[in-house]
Structure 1
């Protein structure tokens, strides 16, 4: 079940990449708040991408995809000392 949910991230990120280019605004010279509308598209899209990546990391799919065990990751946090140096 978890593996199939992890696989749903592939089309999610593919859509994020596909719509990173403001296709609906091509040829438009519309200006909003002193900036071209396509700039606002990118600002909004980057915010959406940040939220999607946050959900991706919180779901644990990042660790599973990278082959990192959650318990191993917690142990690494305990092994750090001042300034992030490891013993």
Structure 2
């Protein structure tokens, strides 16, 4: 299978999503916003971003990168 340059962009995108899933830079921060710790809001926002990125992935690169044949079968 030949990969296009746009397909190779997904590798660092998903790596960044995994790296920042744990808010290490918020360790020790005790700030509270709207009754919840800041790190909880980080996770809410981060999961929203992950959902949008995954939606874009499934709309364009899913069939090629996951080995799915768009015509209905599997490769």
TM-score with structure 2 setting the length: 0.86
The separation in 1 between residues aligned to 2:20 and 2:43, in whole angstroms, is 10
2:68 alignment partner in structure 1: 68
Alignment size in residue pairs: 72
Partners of 1:11 and 1:55 in 2: CA distance: 15
Match of 2:58?
57
Large movers: runs of 4+ above 6 Å? none
Distance in 2 separating the partners of 1:13 and 1:66: 14
Q: Which entry has the higher C-alpha Rg, 1 or 2? A: 1
- What is the aligned partner in structure 2 of residue 83 from structure 1? none
The normalised TM-score by structure 1 is 0.75
Structure number with higher relative contact order (C-alpha < 8 Å, ≥ 6 residues apart)? 2
Segments of 5+ residues of structure 2 without an aligned counterpart are none
Unaligned runs of 5+ in 1: 74-87
Per-residue CA deviations over 1:40-87 (Å, capped at 9, x if unaligned) read 00000000000000000001x1111222221226xxxxxxxxxxxxxx
**CA–CA distance in structure 2, aligned partners of residues 55 and 66 of structure 1:** 14
Q: 1: distance between equivalents of 2:40 and 2:11?
A: 26
**2:35 matched residue in structure 1:** 34
